[in-house]
Structure 1
Amino acid sequence: MTKELKIGKHTARYPVIQGGMGVRISGGNLAGHVAKCGGIGLVAAAGIALNSDHYTGTNYFQAETQAFQTELRKARAIAPDGIIGVNVMVALSDFEPLVKSAIEAGAQVIVCGAGLPLSLPELTAHAPDVALVPIASSVRAAQLIARTWEKRYHRLPDAVVVEDPDTAGGHLGEKMENIGTGEYDQYATVRGVKQFFRDEYHVEIPVIAAGGIWDRADLEHALAEGADGVQMASRFVCTEECDADMAFKQAYLDCKQEDIGLLMSPAGLPGRAILTNTPNIRQYDLDHHTPCRMGCLKKCSYKESGERFCIVTALDRAQQGDVETGLVFCGTNAWKADKITTVQAIFDELFGD
């Protein structure tokens, strides 16, 4: 098994990126311990102000950048020599200041999905050593990003994450009607993205498979199919180090395969979650007349018309342990979680002799 993963100027001991899980599921503690164990740990930017010492209830955007930097420094203290990055959704209203604050706090890798990060090289031009990694679900999306970056900024991605919408958790970069049809071939996409960079730019760009990676067999299959590494998110939730409340982790331990499905996010994207409490999420906002206080997303049906629900507060409630009215994002394999373990134990299972 190929063990190292080189992204830009950074080489991880193991070919694992811990996926970004927003609203403090993957904060500094989880990201730091993944980096300490030899993977790439990501602090997720979305909603990181909530349930932080920086948020007063009225200073959301200021608290976002402050809390983001606090979590990055926490991760760095845990893994002084590890590779620590961030996941920043393009759909966030404060996408640009979050990217800039991540660089200030020492992020080495920036992963961006939920939209095409066409301006990312401009935001990071002053920090050429920071690796830039877009998330794409198609060869066409990867082509558009690469060609735009190269034409405008003379920069190519340092890696590409190919996310499988049929298996990944959280927000998905595909239309609802196209998910689960059986037509999507993740590893054909992985190979197609690699071939595009070879043919057009004569370079070898690492391509990371994301979605549905749970155990060593999944990892070895991904590498055998042409991926240079994997991104795993749901697998790290039921660890002692994950930043979520124990009730959130228990929701994974309790869920059945049929409990996991799709819902439409107010962000205009499908999302995969545990659906056993879905009616309660909308009802909470109706009962509490929850206003859009944050304006966290550039485009949001709840902000614009009160449709659906306030996603950032629903995710925040779940992170703090209210899984009855909160939203619990997960991948299709979350039902496989059967115990609380440690990040180190997961790495031992994935890479041990």
Structure 2
Amino acid sequence: MKSLNAIVMSGKEVLPVIEGGKGIAVSSGQSSGAWAAAGGVATFSGVNADSYDENGERIPQIYYGRTRRERHDELVAYGISGGIAQAQIAHELAGGQGAIHMNVLWEMGGAERILHGVLEGAKGLINGITCGAGMPYRVAQIASDYKVHYYPIISSARAFRALWKRAYHKFSDWLGGVVYEDPWLAGGHNGLSNSEDPRSPEDPYPRVAALRKLMNEIGLQNTPIIMAGGVWHIEDWADWLDNPEIGPIAFQFGTRPLLTQESPISDAWKKKLGTLKKGDVFLNRFSPTGFWSSAVNNEFIEELRQRSERQVAFSNEPVGAHTAAFSMGARKREVFLTQEDRANAEKWVAAGFDQVMKTPDTTLIFVTKEKMQEIRKDQVDCMGCLSQCTFSNWAENETGNTGRKADPRSFCIQKTLQDVIHSEANVENNLMFAGHGAYRFATDPFYANGFIPTVKQLVDRIMTGK
């Protein structure tokens, strides 16, 4: 394999290996500081990051506000203090080596306020901002204002063209690189467009070559592309190195850093990663963001899948094939289903799924009383962790809502991601984001006999091409 040469990113000479920024404390100052110390580009998560008291104990993110707006302001305050704390930890552990980036989701609640707050409070500690999950037009100006580099996460040349024309051409001096994230293979939220088939993955090479062609046309020949999603062994990408069609290239690792000694995830989660088989990571659209996302296909995902399968279309009046009357709720309100759907509904009710919940799409789902109560409570407790949420109908606008009914087919993403990272609870019952290559933990000889490397050992291994 061709040698991997150092690359200049965010004003520093670094190894061309980037730690992917994983949300809600999964990429922490501890893990990212170790990655930077090893000479790479570290990325801590700026999404609801943990902060600590004077004794170094984590401050639980508890919300006291009576309204969603009040709780949203609390969430922003937590996000700012947590981001500053993680930047400080990463900076101290890095010891002047590597580069430190903060990852934010543009569609997270209070994204701009949190960016300003963290960059102001951690001046000189953060070298770059990576940002995806949406179209982050304004991140360029924010990064430029604080003199840090920015790295948009995109999944097509078309998306980058739109960002460039709308805003980035004005702040090109601070564009540190462009992250191409494979929407079929990356973990977490993915950038699949409505024109792309989630069941038909496309080869990333022509897509990245198209991105480089565009970048060359607008004068970005020397700006690196960071390949993300599906990256495990760099030797798998040998034909991308020193390739004029691809140009300056670096590689981002999101899934592999989960299984290191410095990784903050639970031992149960780490053990689960070692048991995955090919196909165990499931591309789905259950997320309240409305985006596609990839997660481990565990009991949490299975319950969401079954919830949507227990679903029928209804009409308030008999129309077309919807002529079968069905009574729902304590008041026995009558709606009309097809004959087949009424038979299914009666079967679900008899099996204990006797609570009926309406969706925004003129359908009904059938759940147990306990699940209905959980859904209702989570919707009421919403703290506005997203810019807009299909599950609770919160939106970060003047009205405070999306204008649509809350969708019981989704879930509170803040709640489950906080649970899965901060407790040793059964990982089967929480959302576990992972890339589609996670099954390779079980087959890669590097992890034989349950070996869990330090971050330094992992970076050294990656630099060999494996």
User: TM-score, normalized by length of structure 1?
Assistant: 0.91
- Tell me how far 1:78 sits from its aligned partner: 0.5
Percent of paired sites with the same residue? 25
Q: 2:79 corresponds to which residue?
A: 64
- Which segments of 5 or more consecutive residues in structure 1 lack a partner in the other structure? none
Q: 1:242 corresponds to which letter in structure 2?
A: S
Which residue among 79, 87, 94 is the counterpart of 1:79? 94
- Give the whole-Å Cα distance in 1 for the aligned partners of 2:61 and 2:288: 23
Superimposed CA distance per residue, residues 23-72 of structure 1 (whole angstroms, 9 cap, x where no aligned partner): 11111111111111111111112232599426333332211110111011
Q: Which moved more, 1:247-256 or 1:267-276?
A: 247-256
| TM-score, length-scaled by structure 2 | 0.70
CA separation of 1:246/1:290 partners in 2, compared to 1, >3 Å: closer, same or farther?
Answer: same
What CA distance in whole angstroms lies between the structure 1 residues aligned with 2:242 and 2:107? 33
- Is the counterpart of residue 296 in structure 1 residue 318 in structure 2? no
Quote the residue 1:243 is aligned against.
Answer: 264
After alignment, is 115-124 or 29-38 more displaced?
115-124
Query: Deviation at 1:287?
Result: 5.1
CA–CA distance in structure 2, aligned partners of residues 202 and 232 of structure 1: 24
- CA distance in structure 2 between the aligned counterparts of 1:125 and 1:348, rounded to whole angstroms: 33
1:233–1:150 CA distance, 2 compared to 1 (3 A) = closer
Deviation at 1:191, TM superposition (A): 2.0
Q: Secondary structure at the match of 2:274?
A: helix
Q: Do the aligned partners of residues 49 and 345 (structure 1) sit closer, same or farther apart at CA in structure 2, a change above 3 Å counting?
A: closer
**2-side partners of 1:332 and 1:313: how far apart?**
24
Query: 2:354 matched to which residue of 1?
Result: none
Counterpart of 1:88 in 2: which secondary structure? Answer: strand
Q: Which amino acid aligns with 1:42?
A: T
SS in 2 for 1:261: strand
Which stretches in structure 2 are left out of the alignment for 5+ residues? 53-57, 65-73, 308-366, 394-405, 443-449
1:214 aligns with 2:232: yes
For 2:419, what is the secondary structure of its paired residue?
helix
Asked if structure 1 preserves the Cα contact closer than 8 Å seen for 2:21 and 2:254, the reply is yes
Cα distance in structure 1, aligned partners of 2:220 and 2:32: 33
**Per-residue deviation, 1:151:** 5.0
RMSD (Å), alpha carbons: 2.4
After superposition, give the CA deviation of every residue in 1:193-235 in whole Å (9 maximum; x if it has no partner).
Answer: 2221222226421001001111242353543663611110101
Amino acid at match of 1:65: I
The DSSP-based 3-state class of the residue aligned with 1:242 is coil
Q: Equivalents in 2 of 1:221, 1:244: separation in Å?
A: 34
From 155, 163, 169, the equivalent of 1:145 is 163
Go from structure 1 to structure 2 and tell me whether the alpha carbon gap of 1:138 and 1:24 turns closer, same or farther (over 3 Å shift). Answer: same
Q: SS at 1:337's partner residue?
A: helix
What's the secondary structure of 2:151's corresponding residue? strand
- Give 2:274's aligned amino acid: L
Number of residues paired by the alignment?
350
The 1-side partners of 2:461 and 2:110 are apart by 38
Q: Which runs of 4+ in 1 moved over 6 A?
A: 281-285
How many Å apart are 1:11 and its aligned residue? 2.2
The aligned residue for residue 95 of structure 1 is 111
C-alpha displacement of 1:152? 4.7
Alignment pair present for 1:261 and 2:272: no
Paired AA for residue 45 in structure 1: G
- 1:202–1:80 distance in 2 versus 1, CA, 3 Å: closer
**2:453 pairs with one of 334, 338, 341:** 341
The verdict on how the C-alpha distance between 1:313 and 1:223 changes in structure 2, with shifts beyond 3 A counting, is: farther
For residues 285 and 345 of structure 1, the distance between their equivalents in structure 2, rounded to whole angstroms, comes to 44
